[in-house]
Amino acid sequence: MCRAGRWCGTGAAPVASRPLPNMPIDRVLVWFRRDLRCSDHAALSHALRTARSVACVFVFDRAILDPLRAQGCERDRRVEFIQRSVAEVDRRLRQAGGGLRVLHGDATECIVRLARQLGVDAVFANRDTEPYAIERDACVERALAAQGCSFQTFKDQVIFERDEVLAGSGRPFSVFTPYRKAWLHRLGETDLLPHPTPIDAGRLQPVPGGEKVPDLESLGFLAAGLDAIGIEPGESGALDTLDDFSARLDRYADARDFPGLRGPSYLSVHLRFGTVSVRALARLAQQHLQSPDPTHGTRGAQTWLSELIWREFYQMALYHHPRIVDQAFDPRFDRIKWREDPERFRRWCEGRTGFPLVDAAMTQLNRTGYMHNRLRMVTASFLVKDLGIDWRLGERYFARQLNDFDLASNVGGWQWSASTGCDAQPWFRIFNPVTQSQKFDADGRFIRRYLPQLSGFDTRQIHAPWTVEVGQQRLAGCVIGTDYPAPMVDHALARQQTLERYAVVRQPK
């Protein structure tokens, strides 16, 4: 995700399963959402343990997909990831004698209609605390109740949710460190146990003949090229990625901040769509922390677990303060007068700011849908504090581009960088894009990968090529202002303007 949690299986030893309550129900419909896997799935586990017959469904929700198409995003990598992951869930369920009904329409109408057609006693789903999901689920619950069907939701996306980790006053935390301490203090032996999902127990209801997972074209989308950027969807892809990361976990703390290294987990998109269980990820960290193997360090596992806790911190904050999607967590910062400059914003989006690390990061995002988490902070800081542009515009652009877009983490990360959020960096802390480049991409490896026109500059010059004498620029094959943009702003001047802009927070209301 670092500061991965700020934006946001295999390799694990077998552990005992958690006990589940007995709730005698005859027929259940399990509604898959952002939990596209068959193992360690809370709602599916409860259904298989308590119902005689279990049907499964996924809905391609038009309320989510139609706006993407309206924006011209027919090649959306996330839709391809979901479609292929849904197809894998369907295959696994069919192999066990069941299957996944896949619908395309208004989610509320589809679920209520299917529940009535199947005559189920209950619909089970895993909880989602995003504002849209809360409103949607409330509508589903009311409609189901009207036809005599219950709607039951279960905790699955997080280890601790909503009100489970609160300050001593009973209020939600607004600072991460005490939240992290309380989270770790609450963590018990059973919290990381997987939910058993015996899909081969003969309780799965088969899908009627002829029904199949719709392809992308029938949904109104086209393939976006996940294979070309090395993303393997589905639970199988998640486990492969987890295997790879487990071998690198001990080096995570040292490598995670350097975009030219293979340091991050690359699991964020899988965590976002639930093709991997968060319990499996936290369990991996705990196993390394508790391992007697002297070759296992603890810094990597501690840092990784902390990033997972950051993710839950932001989910908790969004649940208790849904206004932060559009408003500053700290209302004082809503007084700031942002610069309205569409051309500046466009150049930032396109990676043409003239600052190599910023431009390489934006190029990576636009080309692959991924951005290294250190660079998420750098690019966000540059937009807000060098260009003076409202953080909400950047948050929405990332929301359109990121494969792993998660509302809570994205809003939390942007408000952290803009100094407007809970436990945000101080507003007078302003990243210098050149020194960040020199520190975290010292040899220019990452810059050269995404900005090959700068490859002729040596490791000293590449971070600020406009400072190189014109004759040397020609020798490097890149004249600044012609072959690569000149810097949009003078960082020192922009810093001073930002300090003046933010000074309004010191003024009385």
Q: What is the dihedral of CA 499, 502, 503, 509, to 10 degrees?
A: 180
Structure tokens at 411: 């809003």
Annotation marks residue 232 as catalytic: no
Annotation marks residue 414 as catalytic: yes
Structure tokens at 384: 């807000």
**Which of 307, 395, 403, 410 is labelled catalytic?**
307
Report the C-alpha gap between 455 and 68 in whole angstroms. 36
Q: What is the DSSP letter of 385?
A: I
Residue 401, C-beta contacts closer than 8 angstroms, at least 6 positions apart: 365, 366, 369
Token look-up 């690198």 returns: 248
User: In terms of Cα–Cα distance, which of 246, 301, 233, 302 is closest to 272?
Assistant: 233
Q: Helix 299-320 vs helix 278-290: angle between axes, to the nearest 10 degrees?
A: 150
CB 495 within 8 A of CB 430: yes
CB 221 within 8 A of CB 75: yes
Q: What is the dihedral of CA 4, 409, 240, 237, to 10 degrees?
A: -150
Residue 4, C-beta contacts closer than 8 angstroms, at least 6 positions apart: 256, 264, 265, 268, 307, 310, 311, 373
Burial class (CB within 10 angstroms; exposed 0-12, middle 13-18, buried 19+) of 303: middle
**Which of 88, 126, 348, 373 is labelled catalytic?**
373
- Kind of pairing between the strands at 51-61 and 150-154: unpaired
* Residue 289: φ, ψ to 5°: -65, -30
Annotation marks residue 310 as catalytic: yes
State how far Cα 43 lies from the chain centre.
21
**Which of 183, 310, 416, 427 is labelled catalytic?**
310
Buried b (16+ CB within 10 A) or exposed e, 402-441: bbbbbbbbbbbbbbbbbbbbbbbeebeebbbbbebbbebb
Q: How many CB atoms are closer than 10 A to CB 386?
A: 27
Report the C-alpha gap between 189 and 482 in whole angstroms. 61
Report the C-alpha gap between 123 and 115 in whole angstroms. 7
**Which of 31, 414, 416, 427 is labelled catalytic?**
414
Annotation marks residue 348 as catalytic: no
* Residue 203: φ, ψ to 5°: -105, -10
User: 31 has which bridge partners?
Assistant: 57, 125
Report the C-alpha gap between 457 and 128 in whole angstroms. 48
Annotation marks residue 403 as catalytic: no
User: 28 has which bridge partners?
Assistant: 54, 122
**Which of 130, 161, 164, 338 is labelled catalytic?**
338
Annotation marks residue 307 as catalytic: yes
Q: What is the DSSP letter of 486?
A: P
Residues known to be catalytic? 307, 310, 338, 373, 391, 414
